[in-house]
Structure 1
Amino acid sequence: MEIVFATAIGLLAASGIWLLLRPRTFQVIMGLSLLSYAVNLFIFAMGRLIAARAPVIDAAKGANPALYADPLPQALILTAIVIGFATTALFLVVLLASRGLSGTDHVDGKEQP
């Protein structure tokens, strides 16, 4: 499972970086979104990838803490998703305003042939 998860993070990060290097504004915004998703998955993986386990340790039962997931990265990811969604919406509004003012959506402001 870790190999599949690491491959997914790598593909998201590579696709995000490739889109960041494109000349059009919408592609740059999508690249930032993909890169933020890759970082979110990476942070989520730091809380251990364990299926069907409780996220909180019950100390009264004397449970082994190595068998439980850490809930802090999960809370951080939920916050990052909300902030990322709001930031993407703001970027799209700025994209539309920039395109309306300049007439092009290229990052450098020059139309490519």
Structure 2
Amino acid sequence: MDANLTLLLTGAAMIGCGVYLVLERSLTRVLVGLVVLSNGVNLQFLVAGGKAGEAPIVGEAAVSEMSDPLPQALVLTAIVITLAMVAFVLAMAYRSWQLNDHDDVQDDVEDAAIRRLAESDEQSDSFDLSSDEPETFEQEGA
């Protein structure tokens, strides 16, 4: 099987850029990253499907000359799923813009508490080994 190296590298670059953008804090960048990532995966599906051939209809062409319909079906399904995800993230970004005048994702309260705990542990690098009682952390609000 011959794969087009240009299409493989283009798809890989699109997937890499998409992953980078999805990891950003701005929902607009996440949205663009989702679209780029999806298009890169769709391109890889089509490259993996092999060379183009005749329509996969029994009796129209020899089986060896037919193109594989599975990658095409996967791409169509991925397009529909991407459309739904784009609509969802776009609605979240719009609502965030209405409420906060920006579309940045805020820190989770639990993550901030864990980060503060880790920073306080780093500052007090010494552990008190003379105490026999284990440390207990109580949950806030419980």
Which TM bucket (shorter chain)? 0.7 to 0.9
- Residue 105 (structure 1) aligned to one of 103, 106, 109: 103
Would you say how many aligned residue pairs link Structure 1 and Structure 2? Answer: 105
Gaps of 5+ in 1: none
TM-score, normalisation: structure 2: 0.63
Q: 5 Å matches for 1:19-98?
A: 19-50=21-52, 53-56=53-56, 58=58, 63=62, 65=64, 67-98=65-96
CA displacement 1:6-54 (0-9 Å, x = unmatched): 011011112112212323110011111111111112122222133xx20
Structure 1 stretches of 4+ with a deviation exceeding 2 A read 57-61
Equivalent in the alignment of 1:11: 13
Two-structure CA RMSD over aligned residues (Å): 2.2
- Give the letter for the 1:17 counterpart: V
Counterpart of 1:37 in 2: which secondary structure? helix
Q: Is this contact kept in 1: 2:27–2:89, CA < 8 A?
A: no
Q: Indicate the structure with greater helix content.
A: 1
1:57 & 1:96 partners in 2: Cα distance? 45
Gaps of 5+ in 2: 108-142
- Give the letter for the 1:92 counterpart: L
CA displacement 1:41-95 (0-9 Å, x = unmatched): 2122222133xx203164686x352x43101211221122122112202210111
Percent of aligned positions that are identical? 32
TM-score, normalisation: structure 1: 0.76
Q: Radius of gyration: which is bigger?
A: 2
